[in-house]
Amino acid sequence: MKGIEGVGALVNFGNWLQNTSWALALATSDWVYPFVQATHFTGLSLWIGTSIAVDLSLLGVGNKRQPPSRLSDALFLWNWIGFAIAIAGGFLLFSVSAATYLINLAFLTKLGLLIPLALILHVVVQKKVRAWGQMPQIPAVAKLAGLAELLLWLSVATAAVSIPYVG
């Protein structure tokens, strides 16, 4: 019975959130919602694009004269700026239909499982890339981490595009 009560409380929170004045204003605006959506996608592009660049570098794709650690250092700030923009925009988009999202299996999988796993791996890669870059060759564990991060972000994107089609 506790599980059902928890879902009810979550849906109640979602209903409250989507009925706040700012969420209603966002939902009914002809231009604000598309602007927030574009901002969210811009943040995602910056976040995922910089992450993919480092992951591909770990896999040996791209500029071989520059170690992955130098690329990671150069993109670090942009990476986290993109993340902050994506999170802010994502929360605003979520607020428009929060109760619906909170019972959507694809959304819950994306937000409750895939994003946390991908974020943990992303932070590990960022912490380890400097040590990996000082080795004569990129170690297999670094390549595996880069590939795993790529696959996790692909899984996040797949879950995201599945949201409208999954109940």
pLDDT at 22 over 80: yes
Over residues 145-163, the pLDDT tens digits come to 999 999 999 999 999 999 9
pLDDT at 4 over 60: no
Can you tell me the distance from the alpha carbon of 21 to that of 95, in angstroms, rounded to the nearest whole number?
A: 11
Name the pTM for this structure: 0.89
Q: What pLDDT score does 2 carry?
A: 58
Cα angle: 10, vertex 154, 140; to 5 degrees: 120
With a CB cutoff of 8 Å and minimum separation 6, the contacts of 37 are 89, 93
- Positive or negative: CA dihedral 106, 141, 84, 30: negative
Please say whether the beta carbons of 167 and 104 come within 8 A.
yes
Compute the average pLDDT of residues 109-137.
Answer: 94
Please say whether the beta carbons of 167 and 105 come within 8 A.
yes
Written as six digits, the tokens of 119 are 């974020």
pLDDT at 117 over 90: yes
Over residues 96-116, the pLDDT tens digits come to 999 999 999 999 999 999 999
E strands, the chain, in order: none
Over residues 32-89, the pLDDT tens digits come to 999 999 999 999 999 999 999 999 999 999 887 888 999 999 999 999 999 999 999 9
Q: What pLDDT score does 1 carry?
A: 47
